[in-house]
Amino acid sequence: MTHILPNDTLEYEIMNTEGQENKAFDGAVALLEKGVVGIVGTGYSSALRFPGVYCSSKKKPIVSPGSTALSLHTRAPLICMAALSL
């Protein structure tokens, strides 16, 4: 048992965007309408542009575990990339 967030409950939803930008965008819109504080995903640079810009416009971070497109960060500053290639 950890005490990182005492008295808080973390909830998550799993969505399969199939690497498609339109599905990732629809999922981001649906999650933000539910009041989430941030999103983990999508894992594809090609599917991150629209949801990333949308989340940034709503001041909500989106963490991408697989995206490596550094150019996305200039359009959507709240995109955090967990995997960077040099």
pLDDT of residue 6: 77
Residue 24 in domain:
no
With a threshold of 0.85, does the pTM exceed it? no
Q: Is 9 within the bounds of a domain?
A: no
Predicted confidence at residue 66, as pLDDT, reads 72
- Quote the pLDDT of residue 34: 93
* Domains held by the chain: number: 1
80 part of a folded domain: yes
CA distances from 71 to 26, 43, 75, 78 (A): 22, 15, 7, 13
Per-residue pLDDT of the chain (86 residues; tens, 9 = 90+): 556 677 877 788 888 888 899 999 999 999 999 999 888 878 788 888 889 889 989 999 888 877 777 677 667 777 776 655 54
Short-list 35, 33, 30, CA closest to 14: 30
User: Residue 24 has what pLDDT?
Assistant: 92
In a domain, 57, yes or no: yes
Which residue range is the domain that position 57 belongs to?
Answer: 38-86
Return the amino acid letter for 82.
Answer: A
Q: What pLDDT score does 49 carry?
A: 86
**Domain contains 81:** yes
